[in-house]
Chain A
Amino acid sequence: MRDRILESKALSYSVAIFVLSLMMMPIYWTVVTAFKPDTETYVFPPVYFPSNPTFEPFRLLFESYPFMDYVANSLIVTVSTTLIVTVISMMAAYGISLYPFRGGKLMLLFLLATRIIPPLSLLLPFYLVVSYLGLVDTVLSMIIANIYLTYPFAVLIMKAFFDNFPREIIESAIVDGCSRTGALFRIVLPVGAPGIASAGIITFLWTWNEFIYAFVFTSTPKAQPVTVGSFDAIGDVFVHWNQMCAGALVAALPGIIFVFVAQKYLIAGLTSGAVKA
């Protein structure tokens, strides 16, 4: 009897829905607050279901702060980093996985070790280099930092995918006169697309979500990304909570979209990159 209850679908659904509702509370609260007028924001007890939702916080957010610049900077940094990292890590993973060379194993170990070095520890030397090169307060400085932050994991994800790749397909293609590089573009890319997509999406999100390097490297809206700009609504004496939530939504939007559009790739990437490597 006890086992029937423990293994019942009803129990699984109830517990999952209960825990997930708790976890969704902050998201719900951010969405609701972002559409509240001030009169419903600064009250206690709080208003759970706003009676007059408004776009005012968003309007004020984009009017009072250079939020458009933040979004543009974030996009530049994220798209460039993702393109660079995806191409380079794809080459590296293709090489490690399908053309084993001496030192390849060591390289892999090295990439794993890289993930253990705390980015926070390397923040200072990175900053020294960036300021030596005169790159402080540029988007380029963040592209450089994010390449380091995302490259190792991207290789590990793709390697896990390429390892499962049927070698015979490539072998027969090469025998049929296809070059190795041709095999990469004509066979491995199409068939390995899910792995490349996973690595690309995760790189994109990590770069978009990065904060500490961006905070230290940038000081003006000329280069600051959304994660840094999302502090704008928090003043020294007064916090515009509804505008802050509107900004938080803008900053969290790519992540939330990818979770629903590309859930499969995210899960596959995170599991293979972490567990199989």
Chain B
Amino acid sequence: MSDKLYGLMAEFDSATELVDAANAVREAGYTKTDAFSPFPLHDIDEALGVKRSILPVLVFFGGITGLMLGIALQVFVHYIDYPLNVGGRPYLSWPSFVPPSFELTILVAGFTAVFGMLFLNGLPRPYHPVFNVSRFALASREKFFLIVEAADPQYSYDETRGFLEGLGPQEVFDVPE
């Protein structure tokens, strides 16, 4: 084990234990914490104090961008750059511009949702200190993990370790940097 630690990690068997432990950790005043589970847990957001993501706002503006793009493209093509009289229809025949604009709205909003999520999550990130714990491979399978980072102002190795062990985990691991 190297001297410098990224943090301390506790392993739990069930989702309920993880949420209870996360609540205890938050109440003890730790802020730089994270939990890992093999499927999404709603109660953990509250337990860890995860703030609501800004993603929906980004997606909204992504959609607006797509809409504007669609309208601008068609107005440019049929009204400004190459006005073409087809059967006496007006150049700005906007009802027929609706379907492509709608599709572009969805397209850009969808891209924003996916790549915004990955960007905000800091992915792709093939390496992360938590992977140094060999048991952590089970986080994508059946086990639940809670980590307190060494960067936490309240962190001190012995105290935090003792505190985590008091929460009834399977085991507490040192997470090397």
Whether A associates with B in a native complex is: no
